[in-house]
Every structure is written in C-alpha cells, then in structure tokens.
Amino acid sequence: MPTLIFDCDGVLADTERDGHLPAFNETFEEFGLPVRWSDEEYAEKVKVGGGKERMRTLLTPDFVAAAGLPADPAALDEQVAGWHRRKTEIYTGIIRSGSIPPRPGVRRVAAAAHKAGWTLAVASTSAEASVRSVLELAMGPELAAHFSVFAGDVVQRKKPAPDIYAFAVQRLGLDPAGVVAIEDSRNGMLAALGAGLACAVTTSAYTGKEDFTGASLVVTSLGDPPPKETVTRVLSDPLDVRPGPYVVLADLAVLLTVGGASESTTSRPPVDGPLDPGPLGPPHPRPH
C-alpha cells in the first residue's frame, strides 16, 4: 500500500514563528543567556535542521565567554542538551494550550489516506516529544494513533540530509517509489528527494520564497472545503496535477505514477473513490 509521510513543523501546524521562536527566547531568558532571536534572525535559523543544532550556532568564542559557559566541549554539549530539554518543555506547553491551529487540510487528507489503507507517518528532526504534541493537535488522538513517528536524534544527520526519511522507509519496510512526503521547506524537500520519495510542498510562514525545484507539487496549503474553506493556491505543478480549490488524496496519488502522466484509476495507488475528498465535504471537479 502507498504511504504518506508528513513533516511536522510548518506542515502539520505553522509552529515556527508562534511556537519554537518564543520557546527558544524564553529558554534563553531563563538560563540568563545574552541573546534573543528576532523574527528576521529566526527566519535564517530555521534553515538549520534540529533545535540543538540551532542553539549551537550561538556558540562562537565571544558568546561562550560573554555567557560564562564552559570551554570544554563535553561540558558545553551538556549545557546545550539542558537548554534544549527546557525549550522542548516550554514548546510543548504552547502546543497543548491550543493557541496554534493545525494547517488547513492536513487532518482531512490524513483521514482520507487512513480510510483508503495508506500507511501514515511523521518524519521530523525536531524532538520527539514536540512532534508528538503537534501530531495530536493536528490529527486528534484517534487518528494520531495510526501514525508512526520518526523524530529527533534517531539519525545523526538532520535535514537536508535524507537520513530521517531513509530511516522511516527502512523501519516501515517501504518501497520509496510508493511514498509521498509532504514538506514545507527546501531542506525538507531535499531530504525527501534524497531518499527517493516524491515530495509535495505546502509553503509556510518562513519558506514561501525558497527554491522548490524538484518538488512534484507546490501549494500554499492543502486547503479545505466549506465550512472551514481555505482555498489553496498552486505555486508549481510540473506534473500537471491541477488540484482544485483544495488538494485531495487523488492529487497526491498522481505523484506516485510514472511522471504523474497516467490518469487511469488502475495505475494509481488506491484511494477511497475517484476523488476522495475525506470527511469534510463533497468532491470538487478535477479540471483535466
């Protein structure tokens, strides 16, 4: 059966600006560190995969001296690990408060995929506790229970290295040709492509201007039909998928066909009906 693997931050919920950034800054304040990241600075930090890795970008000799940090590398690693544990606690509290909504369409599409028998997973280089909190927020407890989660330090190299996706594929016993990854960043896309996966991109708060050459589909969001109604805008469609006002599972199934060229239902991975809108509304017509 085909597989749908979601990234977490920026895909399940737009968590970077309103979740991770304030959690980092609150952590810095609690530990008395002489830094607060601005929105503009954090827009660059998100290009670094992994929270501890972002924190380590601070560790110039001048910063270490100004903050009174140990020069010994092992002791410094312990400091960063402690900062990151606390940051994860703060971040998961923000997520559990419900102040950050799920992104449009993620629950609808995942529910349709589950109903159609697709395998579901999340692959992220964020801490596992953070990923699970966002997954439950976005999907609800019942649907979230059907996801496999691959996160944090289960691999050494973070995105854009393909390791986290290759690890998920290996652990689940998947054929990469049967997997669609949904990402929001160039680094994530490169990781998915490097693992041999098809990749659809839903741009997020910090990634709208990134280069997504190589993605099979780039949209502003998966969108939702009424009553939630968020209309997706197609930014790149090299396979001529031509989704309607919102992306449906059948659109993502096209990405698994050879070059996206075959439109017959027999050549596609199975979906729940020809258009499979999920539980929120009737199908919209495909304008082929």
Supply the residues annotated as catalytic. 7, 9
State the DSSP string of 243-283: --SS--HHHHHHTTSGGG----TTTSPP-SSSS---TTSPP
Rounded to 10 deg, the angle between the 73-96 and 21-30 helix axes is 130
What is the spatial distance between Cα 11 and Cα 157, in angstroms, rounded to a whole number? 21
Backbone phi and psi for residue 234, each to the nearest 5 degrees, phi listed first? -85, 125
The amino acid that residue 3 corresponds to is: T
* Nearest to 117, CA basis, from 277, 248, 271, 276: 271
Rounded to whole angstroms, the Cα distance separating 194 from 191 reads: 5
83 to each of 76, 139, 140, 150, 285, how far by Cα in Å? 11, 29, 29, 22, 50
Q: Which DSSP category does 90 fall into? A: H
